Structure 1
Amino acid sequence: MKTKMKISMLTVALGVGVSMGVILTEPASGTGVSQPGTTDDPVVTKSYVDQQIQQALNGGGGASTNPTQPSTPSTSEQPSQGGADEVKNVALKPGKLLIADAGTEFIVRSGHAVIYTEVASGVADLTDGKDLLNGQAAPKNHLLSFPREGRGIQVKEGSQSNLIVMVRGGYTIK
């Protein structure tokens, strides 16, 4: 008798579990769930998303997906041109200084850079959350913030390669 009771309880429990699973997994009508690929829930490709991101980064007007070539200064001192939110790739030759205006941000993309300051305080490395002082190496792919003028970066002494730096804000090359 005990075996029949156990089998009956097991059958009832299994039936209730299956019924609840069917009820809970079936989409409720009228909840706004639509099939993927319809106009209510379109499927997009990676290339479309990449194109939209590129257009947003280019200010929404350009459809160009070609990367920007680094600019090479032709004079010994060249101030920046353009808006404060525009990001530029700047090539810096050995022996030159890239001096930031107040509030400018740099990201060193390639080459070996060191911090240049005329004062005792340094440059904020926002990625690591610390200050970098005069002569310290500027790490690649770190966001550097220049709170005041007269601070910047230069190619590490002895290095023969150029620096490629992404710059947002004003700057001068000396």
Structure 2
Amino acid sequence: MKKVYKISAGVLLLSSCIVIGSVMSFQVSGASTTPGTADDPVVTKSYVDQQIQKALNGGGGTTTPTNPTTPTNPTTPSQPSQGTDEVKNVALKPGKILIADAGAEFIVRSGNAVIYTEDSNGVADLTDGKDLLNGQAAPKNHLLSFPREGRGIQVKEGQKNGLIVMVRGGYTIK
């Protein structure tokens, strides 16, 4: 009979622990409350991005970076870009050259473009994994990376229409 009492006592103890544990709710100290309350607010991505931009800009309210290379003379023939992270569609007329700042990226969307460099180094075509040299055709819809200033693209000679180029980073039209 002792064996029956021991088994019965073990089952009773185990059952009571399970019942007590399921009835009581234990909360770990330091754990947050229900999301969406005043203690744990739910925020949108745009709000978080805005707060990050404020922190990166030194706590100021402006989110647009300033470009210290912007000329003060409005009659200057070059046109520097304003933002470094946003993508802009740039129209380039025949006879003009789109010069990239260091780290800029171009994608030729329409028209026939050729690579422009003053030195023997070329431009990285990241889509094909090739180096394009001065005078070579810049393929449409390929991501072109410009590691240094002074390199760019221009309208292919003999083409009457211009180019439409997506640009990320700084640039100048010459």
Question: In the alignment, is residue 104 of structure 1 matched against residue 104 of structure 2?
Answer: yes
Q: 2:132 matched to which residue of 1?
A: 132
Question: 1-side partners of 2:89 and 2:114: how far apart?
Answer: 18
- Root-mean-square deviation (Å): 1.8
Structure 1, gaps ≥5 residues long? 1-55, 61-73
Question: 1-side partners of 2:170 and 2:104: how far apart?
Answer: 6
**1:167/1:115 Cα in 2 relative to 1: closer, same or farther (>3 Å)?**
same
For these two proteins, the number of residue pairs brought into alignment is 103
TM-score, structure 2 normalization: 0.57
TM-score, structure 1 normalization: 0.57
Identical positions, percent? 83
Q: 1:144 matched to which residue of 2?
A: 144
Question: 2-side partners of 1:159 and 1:76: how far apart?
Answer: 22
Question: 1-side partners of 2:76 and 2:173: how far apart?
Answer: 9
**1:75/1:95 Cα in 2 relative to 1: closer, same or farther (>3 Å)?**
farther
Question: In the alignment, is residue 165 of structure 1 matched against residue 165 of structure 2?
Answer: yes
Question: In the alignment, is residue 118 of structure 1 matched against residue 118 of structure 2?
Answer: yes
Counterpart code for 1:79: P
Higher-Rg member (1/2): 2
Aligned pairs (5 A) from 1:1-174: 76-82=77-83, 84-174=84-174
Question: 1-side partners of 2:76 and 2:153: how far apart?
Answer: 18
Secondary structure in structure 2 of the residue aligned to 1:78: coil
Structure 1's consecutive aligned runs of 4 or more residues displaced over 4 angstroms after TM superposition are: none
Q: Quote how far apart the aligned CAs of 1:115 are.
A: 0.1
Q: Quote how far apart the aligned CAs of 1:77 are.
A: 1.1
Q: Quote how far apart the aligned CAs of 1:76 are.
A: 2.7
After superposition, give the CA deviation of every residue in 1:46-104 in whole Å (9 maximum; x if it has no partner).
xxxxxxxxxx9xx99xxxxxxxxxxxxx963111112x110000000000000000000
